[in-house]
Structure 1
């Protein structure tokens, strides 16, 4: 983004200084928002196309600029054990730092003219309350690319008694997470690689451990509810060895009750999804959601030791006593009913399920 282009696209109200950066020689700036840690030359932009080095400052040009906003149930955005059935305001901005696994990044560049819409903090605080929402979810684009607005917005939302959540690729820096983590209640992290080779193929980067660290830090340090999602690409990240490593990390680092959402980059890939789901069950994960599955469990597995599906038809069952906990209908949980939940536990056998349904961090 040249300075001329930036001035055409971004009104002054959407421009803010980037708080996380390092001053370098000859006017260069090193951005500290995501792990790319771009060195930005004067007049140039970072890989996100959102932060520009102009007039001796590193600036973001997307403060409050909205790409999409919706009123919906939280299940539509891929959270299943976090405020189930809650009505939310989901909102996103512009900017991406990873290529899309599915090949499309529709919210990577700012629009211009009348297509540019902004959402002032006062409006963000008032609108969800007026619409009887329980919380606000940052999604659609990568939330860390919206970091300056994300931080102010999360503080505002929390101050107005609502919960906050974000769906992220987890590649923000420790410094960025340290600033926003205190104000984030729920985090869904997309983990698509567990080797440097796979991470390089999918993102052009090698530090896949940074994504894992973001997830564990969000849970352990900031007491956020964490769910993991993975998009499987045939021949790239669906090998049994890589999946075993990923599953083992989820179970040991985050806990066996951590929801794992799996999908596939190609349509009609039930065999790939069933292989991953069954492997995860055998390795100790209690809740593996595969929304795209269209076929029943393979016959070869029906007589195996793990036969009860705790997420059958998108519902949630107690892994211990098999009681129906949450009933969902529709492709994205268009209707969700809590059946047998007491706090975060099964209402029948009182087994801890780690279902988060309170603004108090556990």
Structure 2
């Protein structure tokens, strides 16, 4: 019927999952979490491998301008809309809190709305074998957005803690996040050179070791976060960014290696075998009951978010002289949200006992709406661009 493959995987996962036919239970979904780590390692490495310096150089000014504009519009408008609705029956779980707390929660939600889905972007690019200006712009904005989100969520969560819990606002948290981003970038460069070393070998079996290596990055990052958490107070966190490490690793290997073609070939061969279980598991993980309960609010936020993305890309694109066709359609490739947003929502849920779980449920609903519409719009825009 012309839909993206990953849409089919998600639908099948939702049908067989614990909230529909129950062929797969919630316990079984949880036990398959290693698939997420393995797939996210592949996806983030692929995202880095799609970022070519010679293609990004002429686009860099536009990428920074559009990403900044999207982040500004999304944060401002989504905060306003959610803040105004926070005293209504749509968000009854937060309506009884003081005004400062409700607006702080709105800011946290708006920060998460800035996030994109590298997984969806890479899956569509691999399926359609896209290459060109729109593809590079989409991937560049997707990667840059994650940096904006990490910083924005850190600030707003700290503010929500001071507004809702009466805790002091801690600007030092931002410094820690920036330090962890820098460390992650350095480790990513080292991983990139390890990828290069594996590409020297002609045998595919040896080159395929890049995939378990990426998985190891995610695994070790999780172990590091757990070990550090035991040494710090409950309200403190310190963790590396495995997504960023793998993105940098893929970027370094493709742009600074003479064997980059072998690297890209390995990624292309592995794509179907990774996307199928990953996105089917994403579908099985979707809480359909929560989605149904929050559908009205989720659609409002999704529409506002899409309008912000359009305003940011078209306005900034026009200002930097991008082609009109690109300015009017690039927003369609940036709608999807997935694992990154859900992970941030889970972190918020763990920090706020009173309203955190309800907040997480609402974010899940927003993500479901964006993940249903996003891949379809993305595929349509890339076909219109002629880059497939």
Higher relative strand content: 1
TM tier, shorter chain?
Answer: under 0.3
Given the two structures, how large is their TM-score scaled by the length of structure 2?
Answer: 0.24
Higher relative helix content: 2
Given the two structures, how large is their TM-score scaled by the length of structure 1?
Answer: 0.25
